[in-house]
Amino acid sequence: MKIGIAGAGLLGRLAAWLLAHAGHAVQVFDPAPDPEPRFDGQGAAGFTAAGMLSPLAELESSDPELAALGWHSIERWGHIVARLAKWSPAAGKPPHFDCNGSLLLAHGPDLGAARRVLARIEAGASGWPQQPLALDAARLRELEPALQSGALHAWLLPGEAAICTIRTLKALQATAPGVQWHWGQAVRALGPGRLELAAGWQTFDHVFDLRGVGARPDLPVRGVRGETVWLHAPDVTLHRPLRLLHARHRLYLVPRPGQQIVLGASEIESEDRSPVSLRSAVELMAAAHSLIPALAEGRILRLDRNLRPALPDNRPCIHHEPGLTRINGLYRHGWLLAPALLDQALSDTGLMT
């Protein structure tokens, strides 16, 4: 079938890749000038994301139904990244996916707050094989020697994963067979089987609206600002994402290839796309330094920000009508949910079995 996709962010690229591999003729339209990340707060949120795949930790603010989608997605990302690694052009850097679990950490004075978070996670995960596992200092040192384990409380969240967002988005775009990518072309309006571009309406057998925050006013989507700090820290080796439960500041650290670590992320109810504030940068870096003093000699590669697309109930939605599918509201768990939501949507429409 002839498929038109509005948006070449996380959902748009993954949908194009899946549909093209299923034999459909796919065209994708996006206002970005080219497929590269921009780091100016304007492009796809998917590039800014830290790539934590945390069905357990996200139970603090979501529910078991979303977590179940997350477990499905982790399995799917494992297969997808393996295929991308095989097919990426020899010159490109292969995407990266780790499934070593993640750690929840708390300094001594924050133990009470940490226990409350753990209680919510354990309630949401009751009956599942994956449960938070308390670690003593020796086990923590074994898992993450870079941590000054003495004064920390720690729990392992088994089965959680992390994905290298930038490399994965690039590889999805580069290896989707026969897809026509139309850069610099914003979709002005859309409807069942049609997209309006600067040159006029184009018709398709089926259209996907995957524009994230750009889907307004068709959907009541809002942007929730998030900021990250990218460090080059060759002196600090991490084997899995870390999440610090701090009474005031939430922080996670995600290791990336090339001795890089992403610190994230602020969560601010604002659609401001301007550069990262001093306050957010100081809070993220101070919390990270409190956890791993050796990060002091890390070098700041960049500060980034973007908007998470969220619907009023902060839950994702899939909306179908003949000739048109809209998916939106992936909020703070887009990477965690995208494969599961697309599997469901493509099977509902009969475009993939």
User: CA 82, CA 311: separation in Å to the nearest integer?
Assistant: 32
Sheet holding 97-98, edge to edge: 52-53, 161-163, 97-98
Q: Which span sits near ligand FAD by CB under 6 A: 152-160, 274-282, 286-294, 303-311?
A: 303-311
User: Is residue 334 part of the contact set for ligand FAD (CB under 6 A)?
Assistant: yes
**Sequence-separated (6 or more) residues with CB below 8 Å from residue 318:** 325, 326, 327, 341, 344, 345, 348
User: Is residue 16 part of the contact set for ligand FAD (CB under 6 A)?
Assistant: no
**Sequence-separated (6 or more) residues with CB below 8 Å from residue 282:** none
Tell which residue, 162, 163, 166, 164, has the closest CA to residue 35.
Answer: 166
Nearer Cβ to ligand FAD (29/39): 29
30, 60, 98, 160: residue in contact with ligand FAD (rule CB under 6 A): 30
User: Is residue 242 part of the contact set for ligand FAD (CB under 6 A)?
Assistant: no
User: Is residue 226 part of the contact set for ligand FAD (CB under 6 A)?
Assistant: yes
Nearer Cβ to ligand FAD (268/352): 268
User: Is residue 335 part of the contact set for ligand FAD (CB under 6 A)?
Assistant: yes
Q: Which span sits near ligand FAD by CB under 6 A: 5-13, 123-131, 137-145, 284-292?
A: 5-13
User: CA 260, CA 238: separation in Å to the nearest integer?
Assistant: 10
Element (H, E) at 87: helix 64-87
Nearer Cβ to ligand FAD (16/149): 16
User: Is residue 32 part of the contact set for ligand FAD (CB under 6 A)?
Assistant: yes
72, 153, 167, 333: residue in contact with ligand FAD (rule CB under 6 A): 333
User: Is residue 168 part of the contact set for ligand FAD (CB under 6 A)?
Assistant: no
User: Is residue 140 part of the contact set for ligand FAD (CB under 6 A)?
Assistant: no
Nearer Cβ to ligand FAD (137/311): 311
Q: Are strands 206-209 and 200-203 parallel, antiparallel or unpaired?
A: unpaired
42 class by beta-carbon count within 10 Å (0-12 exposed, 13-18 middle, 19+ buried):
exposed
User: CA 172, CA 16: separation in Å to the nearest integer?
Assistant: 8
DSSP code of residue 296: G
Q: Is residue 229 within 8 Å of residue 285, measured between CB atoms?
A: yes
Nearer Cβ to ligand FAD (48/349): 48
Nearest-CB residue for ligand FAD? 9
User: Is residue 309 part of the contact set for ligand FAD (CB under 6 A)?
Assistant: yes
Binding region for ligand FAD (CB under 6 A): 6-12, 29-32, 43-46, 48-52, 186-187, 210-212, 214, 226, 228, 264-265, 306, 308-309, 328, 330-336
